[in-house]
Amino acid sequence: MVKVDCIRFNENSVDVLSPLENDVLKILWKKGEGMRVRDLYQILKKKRKVALTSVAVILDRLHEKKIVARKIEFGLGGEHYIYFSRCSKSDFEHTVVEKTVNRLIDKFGPVAVTYFNERFSKRGKK
Amino acid sequence: MAIGCFVGFVVDIDKVALAVISLSLAAFFLLAVKNFKLSTKTKIGLIYGHLILLFFPFVLFTTDFACGAMCMSCQNNTLALVSYSLPTALVLGTIAGFAVIPAFYTFSNKRQTRNREIIEFVRKYSSLLNIRMPKIYIMDKAKPIAFSFKSFRSAIFVSVGMLDILGKKEIQAVLLHELAHIKQRSSMLKFSSFMMNVLSPLSLLTRFHHDTSREEGEADRFAIRTQRTSKYINSAKRKLSEAN
């Protein structure tokens, strides 16, 4: 299960991941297959100033959050990790919404449920 | 000539209870290491705990025997026996840990590198340094780390994370650094000293300190001499510290 520890509410958006985590995941989703740290770094460095070590740290963090999986492969240059996303973009977003709503209901109980009912009934009428 | 006041074991309920509790806890620690997903530090702590608890009953009964043989008042005095045997068990357990923990690392990292380039490189420089070729283990860890042991059989451990972020020459610089440590036989002392400070209950009584800066400097200088540049060892060190 994907771990969602922190959701940041900015003025115009909601961030679940850091900007670099977001960029790394976008590449993995787009690619749709496993990638090496160095391959991800080669794509990322064209977009932003980033160090290879930072990419490795971010991938390990995403692995700890269970958002990406990894396996050891033996290839050119020896043993290395292949990282791949554990779920599609839409599945990830679904999990984030599900976890957020569940936590709101756990925390605020009937207030949250009543609010969601009102919100959905208004939307239904529209 | 008297050979002692009493030579033999007096098995009373207190000593038996202490021995049973100690051995049960030792068994529990071992099962925890085997079955639970724990951090390496916790596992090492549990191995130390296991060894200390395993030694304790034997030391307790031996001390009892010695007290009897030397006509000392500690015989059959459980509190006095514990106060003698516990520090002894701590020392024995800690010393045994130094031998057991490298074996634990070796058996828990069964994956040896298949990288011919690394193997041949280490073989070549082991022969030049006149040391037995160490085994090279790959650790399934994203944190870039490398260390070596000079125990029963020397071994170099490198993490996949390290291979991911270092270039070929930087990896070679790290391997040369570790080979120099094996040649110096400093890795075990360094590791033991570190473990003693971090984990051993003995560190509560005194701080064991082993200055590693001289050995580190020498290992770096060996890598620099061999590669004829400090560029690779410095960049490897920089990357390792950035990612840790």
The residue in chain A having the minimum alpha-carbon distance to the alpha carbon of residue B169 is: A77
Residues of B in contact with A81 (CB under 8 A): 142, 160-161, 164
Residues of B in contact with A70 (CB under 8 A): 142
- The larger pLDDT score, comparing residue A87 to residue A14, is at A87
Three-class HEC string of chain B: CCCCCCCCCCCCHHHHHHHHHHHHHHHHHHHHHHHCCCCHHHHHHHHHHHHHHHHHHHHHHHHHHHHHHCCCCCCCCHHHHHHHHHHHHHHHHHHHHHHHHHHHHHHHCCCECCCHHHHHHHHHHHHHHCCCCCEEEEECCCCCCEEEECCCCCEEEEEHHHHHHCCHHHHHHHHHHHHHHHHHCCHHHHHHHHHHHHCCHHHHCCCCCCCCHHHHHHHHHHHHHHHCCCHHHHHHHHHHHHHC
| Interacting residues of A67 by C-beta distance below 8 A, sequence separation 6+ | A2, A3, A17, A25, A85, A86, A87, A92
The residue in chain A having the minimum alpha-carbon distance to the alpha carbon of residue B235 is: A53
pLDDT in tens, B112-154: 888 889 999 999 999 999 988 998 999 888 989 888 877 667 8
- Model ipTM? 0.78
Residues of B in contact with A52 (CB under 8 A): 165, 239
pLDDT at B52: 86
pLDDT in tens, B169-207: 999 999 999 999 888 765 555 555 555 555 544 444 444
In this prediction, residues B58-83 reach a mean pLDDT of: 81
Read off φ and ψ for residue A73, nearest 5 degrees. -125, 150
pLDDT at B2: 46
pLDDT at A107 over 50: yes
Pairwise CA distance, residues B171 & A25, whole Å: 28
Quote the pTM value.
0.68
pLDDT in tens, A18-28: 888 989 999 99
Q: How far is CA B78 from the centre of its chain?
A: 32
The whole-chain average pLDDT of chain A stands at 85
Percent over 90 (pLDDT), chain A: 35
Interface check A79 vs B, CB under 8 A: yes
Pairwise CA distance, residues A118 & B67, whole Å: 82
Interface check A71 vs B, CB under 8 A: no
- A56: nearest CB among B114, B115, B164: B164
Interface check A77 vs B, CB under 8 A: yes
Percent over 90 (pLDDT), chain B: 24
Q: How far is A36 from chain B (nearest CA, A)?
A: 8
Which residue has 């003025």 as its token pair?
A11
Pairwise CA distance, residues A30 & B76, whole Å: 75
pLDDT at B165: 93
